[in-house]
Amino acid sequence: MNPLLNRRNFLADSARGLGGIALASLLQREGLLGAAQPPLRPVIDPGHPFAPRDSHFPAKAKNVLVIFCSGACSQVDTFDYKPELIKRHGQPLPGAEKLLTFQGEQGNLTKSPWEFRPRGQSGKMVSDLVPMLGEMADEMCFVHSLTGKTNTHGPGENFMSTGYTLDGFPSMGAWVTWALGSENQNLPSYVAIPDPRGTPQSSVNNWGPGFLPAAFQGTDFNATNPLRNLDRPAGVNAKTDRATRSFLQRLNERHLEQFPGDTQLAARISSYELAARMQLSVPEVADISTEPRNILKLYGADDATNPLKASFARNCILARRLIEKGVRFVQLFNGAYQTGGEGVSNWDGHKKIADQYSKHGPVLDQPCAALLRDMKQRGLLEDTLVVWCTEFGRMPTFQKGASGRDHNPDGFTGWLAGAGVKRGFSFGATDEFSYRASENISTVYDFHATILHLLGLDHKRLTYYHNGFERRLTDVHGHVIHDVLA
């Protein structure tokens, strides 16, 4: 007989196990177990789900604006300057001469087609692909050592937006607005602004609520395509519309009085009332024509030679206007997914990166630089955290037989600006070729933990119980990157 399975050993092990359970229970009762602190869940009035709520501790930022470059914008060609890559241009990547990545075998090391130059008082080296953003380098706090978990676009977008590669998890904006509500009760607490060309590859997953209440999903619209189904029906004038809504409100209030404590009914009524208020507030905030001519020119919204840039510039102005109105979380996308249009509509530069990025760079550069400059002049950066990100980076080599770079989740760049972060500062680094993160390696979980921290939220205690698990944006990972905090 196997001695591990005899009755004596079984009874002895059971006794020891019961003793361990008893000891753990005693330590827990006395507060000596060292267990994790309990969750800090927001207290939400179902009738006013978007009412502003207190943070866990004093916040540095009140609002967040995320600029998401869909398609994996290359750090090698924008913000991650590598003199050794220039020096060894055309040589094999040392130790990885026959490296296979997402789309196959890699060729030689290839320097950026764009020169890097020192920018601002900080002297930060930024590529000529984005020279106007380079002028704002003194406002930026770079994280050059980000790492991801996937080299595929859809899961990569999910991971950056939700902390998980799979579908069905809440987005950053959903977590934030669930926790904090909004300062404006006439607009959505969370707005996603898709690129003029369409949605990113993971589409609505980027701003979805996952298992959080549906009220906290992002409302998607942009300056070109206003919010759907918002206009009054033909033949109904404003006076009749107001009277109808007032009558409906009285009916809803009486109905709710008959069912006190019915949180789902209260939530539905609140959603309908917000939709009614948005009939007035959304068209007003989305009407870019009211902006003065000098602002349109600053952003490039009047550029008749580049209609795509002008459209994206109007989205940038819309993002600023939403932040001004107190919308808690705004997610602005640059780049869209189109089947069969590789590299044409987003930053997925596999084949001809010089040609592709020469089109994308100007679309991003002036409008986003103007957005930062405009927000600073208006004092909005004092309370707003601006986040620039992409789903992963790109290789320092060109793909075999192509003139573009393959996917690279092992080392890429994101940056922060505004409330609570150091200005003109760089944290972490990739190796000498921008292939792998090598110094102060950071994960997307760390990035998320830092964003939540700046909003006054403890990422370890902001949890939602779902399917037997205490879920959080950072899963069971993540550390605040304290070195980037001002």
Residues 148-200: tens digit of each pLDDT: 999 999 999 999 999 999 999 999 999 999 999 999 989 999 999 999 999 99
443-454 pLDDT tens trace: 999 999 999 999
How confident is the prediction for the chain on average, in pLDDT? 89
pLDDT at 361: 97
Rounded to 5 degrees, φ, ψ at 249 are -60, -40
* Res. 22 pLDDT band, cuts 50 70 90: low
Cα–Cα nearest to 420, from 147, 55, 80, 64: 64
Task: Establish how many alpha carbons lie within 13 A of residue 90's alpha carbon, considering only the half-sphere containing its beta carbon.
Answer: 1
Whether the pLDDT of residue 68 is over 90: the answer is: yes
> SS3 letters for the chain?
CCHHHCHHHHHHHHHHHHHHHHHHHHHHHCCCCCCCCCCCCCCCCCCCCCCCCCCCCCCCCCEEEEEEECCCCCHHHCCCCCHHHHHCCCCCCCCCCCCEECCEEEEEECCCCCCEEEECCCCEEEECCCHHHHHCHHHEEEEEEEECCCCCHHHHHHHHHHCCCCCCCCCHHHHHHHHHCCCCCCCCCEEEECECCECCCCHHHHHCCCCCCHHHCCEECCCCCCCCCCCCCCCCCHHHHHHHHHHHHHHHHHHHHHCCCCHHHHHHHHHHHHHHHHHHHHHHHHCHHHCCHHHHHHHCCCCCCCHHHHHHHHHHHHHHHHHHCCCCEEEEEECCCCCCCCCCCCCCCCCEHHHHHHHHHHHHHHHHHHHHHHHHHCCHHHCEEEEEEECCEECCEEECCCECCCEECCCEEEEEEECCECCCEEECEECCCCCCEEECCEEHHHHHHHHHHHCCCCCCCCCEEECCEEECCCCCCCCCCHHHEC
What average pLDDT does range 75-103 have in this prediction?
Answer: 92
Other C-beta atoms lying within 10 Å of the C-beta of residue 20: 10
Q: Does domain 63-226+288-484 have CATH number 3.40.720.10?
A: yes
Instruction: Return the higher-pLDDT residue of 1 and 352.
Output: 352
CA distance 387 to 420: 12
The answer to whether 75 and 393 have CB atoms below 8 angstroms apart is: yes
Q: Which of 22-31, 109-118, 326-335, 459-468 has the lowest mean pLDDT?
A: 22-31
Whether the pLDDT of residue 469 is over 50: the answer is: yes
Percent of the chain scoring above 70 in pLDDT: 87
Q: Domain-by-domain residue ranges, the chain?
A: 1-35, 63-226+288-484
Residues contacting 422, CB < 8 A, separation 6+: 141, 484, 485, 486
CA distance 132 to 455: 28
Pairing of strands 412-418, 124-127: unpaired
In the beta sheet, which residues pair with residue 418?
Answer: 385
The answer to whether 142 and 413 have CB atoms below 8 angstroms apart is: yes
Through-space distance between the first and last CA atoms of the chain, rounded to whole angstroms = 66
* Res. 33 pLDDT band, cuts 50 70 90: very low
What average pLDDT does range 106-112 have in this prediction?
Answer: 95
The answer to whether 310 and 366 have CB atoms below 8 angstroms apart is: no
Instruction: Return the higher-pLDDT residue of 53 and 225.
Output: 53
Whether the pLDDT of residue 34 is over 50: the answer is: no
pLDDT at 340: 53
pLDDT at 267: 61
CA distance 392 to 71: 8
Positive or negative torsion for Cα 345, 346, 352, 357:
positive
pLDDT at 278: 74
What average pLDDT does range 224-230 have in this prediction?
Answer: 72
Pairing of strands 124-127, 140-147: unpaired
Q: Which two tokens stand for residue 72?
A: 């994996």
